[in-house]
């Protein structure tokens, strides 16, 4: 889908808000097991479908010649979040509040949109050439 349009931000925003809404719904409302699985499946599809356009947006936001550094930074941030967040999620579950896990995930998904919007709307700096040593 990412190759069929150059308007990636609205696509990513719609999918991310939709996934966050579904996760929040499952975190707040009690569903039957099959319905919970179905809703989380759709939320996962929405999140997964937003990854390729998000990568295209990261590439477009990167300064010329800095794409590798930008992808390295983004990938490191995702790995760091994946390493850190299981601890507070586990603490929430151990405290008897497992529904908070999905609420926090939904909130973090929505916060990620601020990064996408910031990259799109003017926080880019021009690359400054540096002399070789």
* 122 pLDDT above the threshold of 60: no
Q: How far apart are the first and last CA of the chain?
A: 43
Confidence of residue 34 (pLDDT cuts 50, 70, 90): very high
Tell me whether residue 79 is exposed, middle or buried, using C-beta atoms within 10 angstroms of its C-beta: 0 to 12, 13 to 18, 19 or more.
Answer: exposed
**3-12, 30-39, 47-56, range with greatest mean pLDDT:** 30-39
Domain ranges of the chain: 2-64+96-118
What angle do the packed helices 99-120 and 86-94 form, to 10 degrees? Answer: 150
Does 132 have pLDDT greater than 70?
A: no
* 34 C-beta neighbours (distance < 10 Å), count: 8
DSSP H helix total and E strand total for the chain: 6, 0
Whether the pTM exceeds 0.85: the reply is no
């Amino acid at each position: 889908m990412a190759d069929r349009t150059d308007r990636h931000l609205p696509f990513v925003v719609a999918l991310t808000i939709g996934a966050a809404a579904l996760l929040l719904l499952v975190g707040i409302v009690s569903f039957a097991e099959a319905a919970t699985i179905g809703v989380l499946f759709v939320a996962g599809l929405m999140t997964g479908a937003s990854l390729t356009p998000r990568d295209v947006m990261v590439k477009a936001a990167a300064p010329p010649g800095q794409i590798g550094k930008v992808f390295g930074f983004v990938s490191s941030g995702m790995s760091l979040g994946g390493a850190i967040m299981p601890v507070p999620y586990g603490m929430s579950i151990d405290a008897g509040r497992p529904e908070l896990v999905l609420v926090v995930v939904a909130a973090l998904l929505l916060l990620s949109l601020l990064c996408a919007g910031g990259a799109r709307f003017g926080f880019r700096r021009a690359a400054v050439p540096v002399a070789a040593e």
